């Protein structure tokens, strides 16, 4: 049986198809600094080396692969994405942008395209799946998060980011804003699998991005009284799991009252978490998104009140803490229009998903390209990209980079 050619996007992705598969959840679990994510980083570095790119890993763990033959890194055209995944995610969210960047660079090299220096950047912890804050690498690079706060972030096993960095051989003390690395970027273009149905409905393989929906994450802690499932009368309980259940239903009700809002509880952790144990505490995480940031925050405030009501109803208490917030981002209009000229017929699409490009937008002209996903599903194993669309995406990226060069 012959697989895809090794010099294609699908050929590159086939090389990593077995890394980080999750036999329990299905799909891939590639948390930052896990064995799987570190293997993917090695895979990328090997490919960059093979192409003669100059590879460095900066103080925040962002890998840069440079084509800068004149030794100048100023005003560079940068593309890239991430290799970490959500738990049980698809094969394309992140790696598609990285593999497409390699193929696009191959095309530029074959065509002898010179001009501005160019680089591929691979950002760590884009999903925030392990340490809770999305786009952690780009936030650190740009100074959008205090490094002391980042180092103290803990994963579900209680291991801090500082400890995980040290275990991977990195130097946590070096973490923080990197104006020199950021200052080299003249323009940033991230290619990404589309995470919805826009391109299916339009019958097109590739779109130019217009905006990213504002989004944030909040942790709600519901505290009650741990006790025995068999000996505690139903009338004597203060059960935070019951409050959590009411809150989850309330989140959906309140979000449905706000046109265009999205609110999700995708993770809930009872403590201590035993079948015959009434929990003493439940932590749940809320993801809320809306294009109008004030509307997002107003909805979150209503959910906070709902949490307090649901908790009081059960004799419990509720505390809500913001873990991260990213305002709605409109990509650089000039760059977007240039991409539309380079890619005639490509539609312009907004996205409801977050990206490192959204963080970089506050500092450099930034654009995105989306590649059709025939299932319209993402953050789940069913995420998909047809081989031909992947090649179409890499070609669109190559044309874009060549134009910007």
Note the residues at the interface with ligand GLV (CB under 6 A): 127, 134, 353-354
**CA angle in degrees (0–180, nearest 5) for 192-193-198:** 115
Q: Choose the contact partner of 394 out of Mn ion, ligand GLV, none; CB within 5 to 8 A by kind.
A: none
Nearer to Mn ion (CB atom), residue 129 or residue 221 = 129
| 8 Å CB contact between 39 and 155 | no
Residue labelled with tokens 């994405």: 81
Return the DSSP state at 212. Answer: E
- In the complex, least distance from residue 191 CB atom to Mn ion, rounded to whole angstroms: 11
Continuous segment of H or E residues that includes residue 213: none
Nearer to ligand GLV (CB atom), residue 184 or residue 289 = 289
- In the complex, least distance from residue 105 CB atom to ligand GLV, rounded to whole angstroms: 24
What residues between 183 and 212 interact with Mn ion by CB under 5 A? none
User: Cα separation of 142 and 196, whole Å?
Assistant: 28
Residue 192, CA distances (Å) to 44, 145, 295 in order? 17, 24, 27
Nearer to Mn ion (CB atom), residue 73 or residue 370 = 370
Q: For 11-57, list the strands marked E by DSSP.
A: 54-57
- In the complex, least distance from residue 78 CB atom to ligand GLV, rounded to whole angstroms: 20
Q: Choose the contact partner of 61 out of ligand GLV, Mn ion, none; CB within 5 to 8 A by kind.
A: none
43 in helix, strand or coil?
Answer: helix
Residue 166 phi, psi dihedral angles, 5° rounding: -60, -45
Q: Choose the contact partner of 243 out of ligand GLV, Mn ion, none; CB within 5 to 8 A by kind.
A: none
Nearer to ligand GLV (CB atom), residue 117 or residue 124 = 124
Q: Choose the contact partner of 108 out of ligand GLV, Mn ion, none; CB within 5 to 8 A by kind.
A: none
User: Cα separation of 273 and 304, whole Å?
Assistant: 24
What would the DSSP string read from start to end of 263-305?
Answer: EEEEEEEEES--TTEE-SEEEEEEEEEESSHHHHHHHHHHHHH
Nearer to Mn ion (CB atom), residue 208 or residue 282 = 208
Q: Choose the contact partner of 94 out of Mn ion, ligand GLV, none; CB within 5 to 8 A by kind.
A: Mn ion
User: Cα separation of 306 and 263, whole Å?
Assistant: 14
Q: Choose the contact partner of 134 out of Mn ion, ligand GLV, none; CB within 5 to 8 A by kind.
A: ligand GLV
Nearer to ligand GLV (CB atom), residue 94 or residue 147 = 94
Q: From the list 27, 90, 94, 95, which residue makes contact with Mn ion (rule: CB under 5 A)?
A: 94
User: Cα separation of 47 and 42, whole Å?
Assistant: 9
- In the complex, least distance from residue 94 CB atom to Mn ion, rounded to whole angstroms: 5
- In the complex, least distance from residue 353 CB atom to ligand GLV, rounded to whole angstroms: 4
Return the DSSP state at 172. Answer: G
- In the complex, least distance from residue 369 CB atom to Mn ion, rounded to whole angstroms: 13
User: Cα separation of 80 and 177, whole Å?
Assistant: 19
- In the complex, least distance from residue 360 CB atom to Mn ion, rounded to whole angstroms: 14
User: Cα separation of 113 and 105, whole Å?
Assistant: 9
Does 93 bind Mn ion (CB under 5 A)? Our answer is yes
Q: Choose the contact partner of 354 out of Mn ion, ligand GLV, none; CB within 5 to 8 A by kind.
A: ligand GLV
Please report, as ranges, the residues that interact with Mn ion according to CB under 5 A. 93-94
């Amino acid at each position: 049986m012959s697989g895809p050619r090794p010099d294609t996007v699908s050929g590159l992705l086939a090389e990593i198809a077995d890394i980080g598969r999750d036999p329990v959840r299905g799909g891939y679990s590639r948390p930052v600094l896990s064995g799987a994510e570190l293997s993917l980083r090695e895979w990328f570095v090997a490919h960059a080396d093979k192409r003669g790119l100059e590879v460095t890993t900066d103080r925040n763990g962002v890998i840069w692969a440079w084509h800068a033959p004149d030794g100048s890194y100023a005003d560079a055209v940068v593309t890239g994405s991430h290799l970490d995944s959500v738990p049980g995610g698809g094969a394309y969210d992140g790696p598609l942008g990285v593999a497409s960047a390699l193929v696009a660079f191959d095309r530029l090299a074959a065509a002898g395209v010179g001009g501005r220096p160019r680089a591929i950047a691979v950002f760590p912890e884009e999903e925030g799946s392990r340490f809770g804050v999305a786009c952690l690498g780009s936030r650190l690079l740009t100074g959008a998060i205090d490094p002391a706060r980042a180092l103290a972030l803990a994963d579900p096993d209680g291991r801090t980011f500082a400890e995980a960095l040290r275990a991977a051989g990195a130097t946590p003390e070096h973490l923080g804003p990197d104006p020199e690395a950021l200052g080299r970027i003249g323009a940033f273009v991230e290619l990404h699998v589309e995470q919805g149905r826009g391109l299916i409905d339009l019958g097109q393989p590739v779109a130019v991005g217009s905006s990213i929906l504002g989004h944030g994450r909040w942790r709600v802690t519901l505290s009650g009284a741990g006790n025995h499932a068999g000996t505690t009368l139903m009338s004597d309980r203060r059960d935070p799991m019951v409050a959590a259940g009411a809150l989850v239903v309330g989140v959906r009700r309140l979000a449905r009252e706000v046109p265009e809002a999205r609110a999700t509880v995708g993770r809930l952790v009872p403590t201590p978490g035993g079948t015959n144990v009434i929990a003493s505490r439940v932590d749940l995480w809320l993801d809320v998104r809306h294009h109008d940031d004030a509307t997002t925050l107003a909805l979150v405030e209503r959910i906070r009140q709902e949490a307090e009501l649901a908790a009081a109803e059960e004799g419990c208490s509720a505390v809500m803490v913001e873990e991260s917030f990213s305002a709605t981002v409109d990509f650089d209009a000039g760059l977007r229009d240039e991409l539309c000229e380079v890619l005639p017929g490509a539609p312009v699409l907004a996205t409801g998903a977050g990206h490192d490009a959204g963080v970089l937008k506050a500092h450099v002209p930034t654009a995105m390209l989306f590649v059709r996903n025939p299932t319209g599903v993402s953050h789940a194993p069913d995420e998909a990209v047809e081989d031909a669309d992947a090649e179409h995406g890499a070609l669109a990226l190559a044309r874009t980079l060549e134009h910007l060069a």
